[in-house]
């Protein structure tokens, strides 16, 4: 051993310095550069640790509730002129452009209606399903359910006419005992 490192104090200092150098090398290999991440130009507000997760949501809450309805009215005029394919494209663009706005639900419903009127039943069903998935308690829920029933009866019967008196609404009070199941016919 070197004569200058024989004292216990000197050996302790060497060990501490060695540990510090190893720690620095480890941090450098791991890519640590402090709390701000690798990019030193980030500001504190841009840092992932300090971001406000509700910042985008707050920005969307301050929107005009009537946004998109002017475009919706133009697309509705094309629907009324029976230009279903063009109207469907425009309603889809409105639903995409005004995502999470009040007009989105109306536009999604009208896309499905365009396909239904154009007798593209598979596409209409997909759009109705998408509407129900996005808006489970949609104001169009009853109309959508009736359309889906009509599409199903078209596929089953071929003509779209289903006899609703053949359907039975079932209300099970006790599922374990089949005798207690109450059945009543559906009335209009």
Q: Could you read off the pLDDT tens digit of each residue along the chain, which spans 188 residues?
A: 555 556 777 777 777 877 777 777 666 666 655 544 445 454 444 445 555 555 555 455 566 667 888 999 999 999 999 999 999 999 999 999 988 888 999 999 999 999 999 999 999 999 999 999 999 999 999 999 999 988 988 888 776 666 655 555 555 555 556 566 555 555 54
Give the domain ranges of the chain. 1-35, 69-185
As a 3-state breakdown, the chain gives helix, strand, coil percent values, each rounded to 5, of 60, 5, 35
Instruction: List the one residue out of 114, 124, 123, 27 whose CA is nearest residue 77.
Output: 114
C-beta of residue 56 within 8 angstroms of C-beta of residue 71 = no
CATH architecture label of 69-185: Alpha Horseshoe (1.25)
Whole-model pTM: value is 0.56
Closest CA to 72 of 89, 91, 88: 91
| Cβ 79 vs Cβ 56: under 8 Å | no
């Amino acid at each position: 051993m070197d004569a200058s490192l024989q004292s216990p104090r000197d050996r302790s200092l060497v060990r501490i310095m060695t540990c510090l150098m190893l720690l620095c090398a480890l941090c450098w290999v791991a890519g640590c550069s402090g709390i701000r991440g690798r990019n030193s130009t980030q500001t504190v507000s841009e840092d992932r640790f300090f971001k406000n997760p509700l910042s985008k949501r707050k920005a969307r809450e301050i929107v005009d509730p009537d946004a998109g309805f002017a475009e919706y009215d133009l697309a509705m005029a094309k629907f009324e002129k029976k230009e279903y394919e063009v109207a469907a494209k425009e309603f889809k663009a409105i639903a995409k452009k005004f995502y999470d706005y009040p007009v989105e639900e109306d536009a999604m419903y009208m896309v499905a209606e365009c396909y239904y009127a154009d007798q593209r039943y598979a596409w209409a069903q997909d759009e109705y399903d998408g509407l129900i998935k996005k808006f489970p308690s949609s104001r169009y829920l009853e109309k959508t359910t009736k359309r889906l029933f009509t599409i199903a009866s078209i596929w089953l019967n071929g003509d779209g006419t289903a006899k609703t008196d053949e359907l039975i609404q079932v209300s099970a009070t006790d599922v374990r005992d089949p005798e207690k199941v109450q059945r009543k016919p559906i009335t209009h």
